[in-house]
Structure 1
Amino acid sequence: MHRTDAPRLNDAPPLTAEDLGLLATEEHRADRAEIDLLPTAELVRLMTREDARVPEAVHAAAGDIARAADLAAARLAAGGRLVYLGAGTAGRIGVLDASECGPTFSTAPGQVVGLIAGGPRAVTLPVEDAEDDEQAAVEQLRAIGLTARDVVCGIAASGRTPYAVAGVRHARAAGAATVGVSCSPGSPLSRAAEVAIEVVVGPEFITGSTRLKAGTAQKLVVNALSTVTMIRLGKTYGNLMVDLRATNDKLRRRSHRIVRLATGAAPAEVAAALDGCGHEVKTAVHMLLTGAGADEARAALAAHGGALRGALGERATAAP
């Protein structure tokens, strides 16, 4: 339940209007003061030129993203979870990434979790005041049974969102690993987290609208964080999605293609292997490359934590 009288856990004082303008995400560009008078084509050109700067800013944070991925992989390998925590756009980005890890990497239910200020309804409806409720973040983490094996990734463009900062501080006090993703240097979120990922993208095309460059940067960061984490856990074979869940016709066709690319087997052989193991991609690849039956392939995979390279006796996935 949302409470407006929740105690403040954030070490930063409330922002004044003047303070807000000092944040990197809130900076105003005077040279954009008349963009509403420009032709549409020029508006699009200017905006896309601003957006093109985002990947470079994310690349500059590659070292910190790598540290976060190694941290997450180690915790997940030990039975922990990756938990995203954010408000508004940041929270939706975390929920989105969490929801996509299952079909892409066959993560176990609840292994990657997205928490958002205001609860599930805030995914589709604005609940703007929820970002100030610090106690709600603590309660949500308690509700999912946060443990010291987990890693909590707080996401906040400004790095000052009370909900995100409080959640990360609570998680760290509980012994969980913590990551902070922001677009403002030296923020309370960065200070609260074990690993700080700061992607400074500069002022937004529309002043303060952090669903734009900041949102794009945050999406790129969590893409890299979850994907590299899953690679470290052996969820891919090279760049092939061998842990894919084939739950519709498109994905079944993709599974067939992945097995062909991994093995070089003829289409009929691929189809037979997939049919023989319930369309488990990794199992089918192992069967075709070793001549093993489905049960033997599954046992080999289980003995190597699901990592196909290890089950095939190839060079094992790099340790987290």
Structure 2
Amino acid sequence: MIKITEQASIHRSLETKTIEEITLLINQEDATVAYAIKNALTQINALISNIVEHLKNGGRLFYLGAGSGGRLSVLDVIELPTTFGIEKGIVNTILAGGVEHLVEAREEMEDNYMEGWDRLQAEKVSSKDIVIGISASGTTPFVLGALEVCREYKITTGCIVSNPNSPIAAVANFPVEVITGPEFITGSTRMKCGTAQKMLFDMISTTTMIQLGRVEDNQMVNVLLINDKITDRAVKMLMNKTGLTDYNEAKKILLEHGSVKLAADYLR
């Protein structure tokens, strides 16, 4: 396979450029990412459809990754219980080196071929679940080894990669190949590949949660009331949905029921 992600940047002599020149060039490169994702929408839709199916049937989603992509998946997973009111453990990340070492960037762990599968086993992964490997190169041993064993056990897999015809895409049931091209700094896949991965995590989790009924209209009706800002937002949401005009009454009902969804259902 050809590793496009490792090909030389088209931008030369970066150390001679001004701040204004550098930021303009980076912005121009970043503008291509959304188009690369658009080209992969058919693959993305197939993957999301299968995630929704597995979660509706009581399964879990596991992101499996190393480096920038793995760490970005952690950020997405952290947000979901608060934003959509889902139980912790429904969407998870298996990070090379462990989520507890998130800020240490233990990049050497991505070369461990069996660690990913061992970590999935510790979570009692089964055929009810779906596992998505994240690898810009499409060759990361930590991801590849786990997906290959998942295949043996008939566990559904997907992947997010940035090179065509990669080993990881070949073993995944639902591959997503977002080809973002050479990076601004040669091989620095935290840049365009990382931007694409963040956009994909947003797209996958948001679409999945909508399909699971965790959003009504365009609102987070199941948001957890964890601080004053979110509670205030939820009170106003409840008032807008139900016609209540007294803020304090709406807040009292909201807090009694724990979410906009449950409070609105009660008032109906």
Bigger relative contact order, structure 1 or 2, given CA contacts below 8 A and separation 6+? 2
Show the 5 A alignment for 1:11-160: 22-29=2-9, 31-160=10-139
- Return the TM-score normalized by structure 2: 0.95
Letter in 2 for 1:86: G
Name the larger-Rg structure.
Answer: 1
Query: What secondary structure sits across from 1:134 in the alignment?
Result: coil
Query: What secondary structure sits across from 1:84 in the alignment?
Result: strand
Post-superposition Cα deviations, 1:66-98, rounded to whole Å, max 9, x if no partner, equal: 111110111111111010000111110121111
CA distance in 2, matches of 1:74, 1:198: 21
CA distance in 1, matches of 2:214, 2:86: 9
Aligned length: 267
CA distance in 1, matches of 2:186, 2:246: 54
What's the CA shift for 1:122? 3.6
Partner of 2:188: 209
Partner of 2:141: 162
List alignment gaps of at least 5 residues for structure 2: none
- The answer to whether the 8 Å contact 2:74/2:99 transfers is no
- The answer to whether the 8 Å contact 1:96/1:114 transfers is no
CA-based RMSD of the aligned residues comes to: 1.5
Does structure 1 residue 276 correspond to structure 2 residue 256? yes
- The answer to whether the 8 Å contact 1:160/1:189 transfers is yes
- The answer to whether the 8 Å contact 1:88/1:128 transfers is yes
What's the CA shift for 1:214? 0.1
- The answer to whether the 8 Å contact 1:157/1:181 transfers is yes
What's the CA shift for 1:121? 4.1
> What fraction of aligned residue pairs are identical, expressed as a percent?
35
What's the CA shift for 1:260? 2.8
CA distance in 2, matches of 1:161, 1:191: 13
CA distance in 1, matches of 2:107, 2:146: 17
Letter in 2 for 1:33: R
CA distance in 1, matches of 2:219, 2:44: 22
Show the 5 A alignment for 1:287-306: 287-288=266-267, 290=268
